[in-house]
Amino acid sequence: MGGQSRPEAPEDPREELREESSQDAQRSRRINAWAAAERVLIRPAMNLPLGERLAALTAGAGSVTDLDRPADIYGDGVVAELEERIAGLLGTEAAAFFPTGTMAQQVALRCWAGRTGNPTVALHPLAHPEVHERGALGAVSGLRTVHPTYEPRLPTAQEIRDFDEPFGTLMLELPLRDAGFVLPTWEELEDVVAAARERDAVVHIDGARLWECAPRFGRELPEIAALADSVYVSFYKTLGGISGAALAGPASLIEEARTWRHRYGGQLFQQFPAALAALIGLDRELPQLASYVAQAKVVAGALAEGFPAAGTPWFRVHPEPPHTHQFQVWLPYGADVLTEAAVRQAEETGVSLFRKWYPAAAGPPGLSFTEVTVGREGLEWTAGDVRNAVREFVERLA
């Protein structure tokens, strides 16, 4: 009949399967290329083969606990030992182990909302709960979020004082990962906390990467943690653990948090592999973090020299110098093009300078960024090594 359109043909499920298969193959290729590379800035534990991870856990476990003791059950044993270690490192009254940082922070912010009588949380729009948790604070805990600033940095003290509605908790992500792992100065951080106190708000630190903040602040971890009413730390992002996090703060808050942990399904029967890996990471990585941060400045400076020398039309290293051992690099190419160049460099030269690239969330099309992390393996690189690697990378963009 005239004017009628034919119904659309159903999508071929084989196309979707082929696309998924192609994506899996590309991911395997990337991981294999980075794993086989002889020179890397960091070799993330998550990309190591299962056998290597199990062997490392077995080899290191005896140095952090008594292996003849019973395994943990519902949070005792080595899990309780880890909690005591964290409370001591951060100088807090107590700490509780959580299976995920998302759960730890939701519980912390929910507890503070009940105690302050205000369910509104002030935080940055790029903070982890806003970007990576699918609206969990509102959907699960009934909390509401507001944003004192939209600048790609933490709020200033004046922005906190001038904000036009009340909030019960100020959450500060240190460093602010999605803005480029940026930190305020110590004096700025003190002023922001004081401004929140003037408004009778409590302060919670999202310290998933708190471990590497000490060099910029020039302060030890207990002094940093003492600024806040509660602190969350992660065990896998910097320390190379398997999983898990801890919430640290006053004993009464942590006791309440344990109750909510159970209600949220986080009271796991046994967690000794994650707890052991965390203790090993604390011993292995924590003493080295200052050297990683210092080396990140060398790497970032050499990148800033290497791109112009290689004829790159535009680039940005952010922040420069880095505030921690992690920073961003921006280039005016598609993310797929840049990732392919990074993989080819690893495959063809045995040198892995960059890993996966991502399209910019805003700005002109064709702008991409990657995150650079300098770890133990990166300490061997000289500025000249970095500049040579930049040249070889840029050659593969052609």
Domain ranges across the chain: 54-284, 288-395
Distance, in Å, from the CA atom of 317 to the CA atom of 386, rounded to the nearest integer, reads 14
Q: In this structure, which CATH number among 3.40.50.1970, 3.90.1150.10, 3.40.50.1360, 3.40.50.300 belongs to the domain 288-395?
A: 3.90.1150.10
pLDDT in the model for residue 5: 46
Distance, in Å, from the CA atom of 331 to the CA atom of 349, rounded to the nearest integer, reads 22
Name residues of the chain where pLDDT drops below 70. Answer: 1-20
pTM of the model: 0.92
Task: Write out pLDDT tens, residues 123-146.
Answer: 999 999 999 999 999 999 999 999
- DSSP conformation letters of 42-81: ---GGGS-HHHHHHHHHHHHTTTS-TTSPPPSTT-THHHH
Average confidence score pLDDT of the chain: 94
Distance, in Å, from the CA atom of 176 to the CA atom of 229, rounded to the nearest integer, reads 19
Q: Does domain 54-284 have CATH number 3.40.640.10?
A: yes
Distance, in Å, from the CA atom of 110 to the CA atom of 112, rounded to the nearest integer, reads 5
Distance, in Å, from the CA atom of 327 to the CA atom of 299, rounded to the nearest integer, reads 10
CA angle 220, 224, 225 (to 5 degrees): 115
Tell me if domain 54-284 and domain 288-395 are identical in fold. Answer: no
> Which residues are CB-contacts of 127 (< 8 A; sequence separation ≥ 6)?
171, 173, 176, 178, 206
Helices 101-116, 251-263: inter-axial angle, 10-degree rounding: 120
Residue 232 pairs with which residues in a beta bridge?
Answer: 206, 247
| Contacts within 8 Å (CB) and 24+ apart, 366-369 | 366/332, 366/333, 366/334, 367/330, 367/331, 367/332, 368/330, 368/331, 368/332, 368/333, 368/334, 368/335, 368/338, 369/328, 369/329, 369/330, 369/331
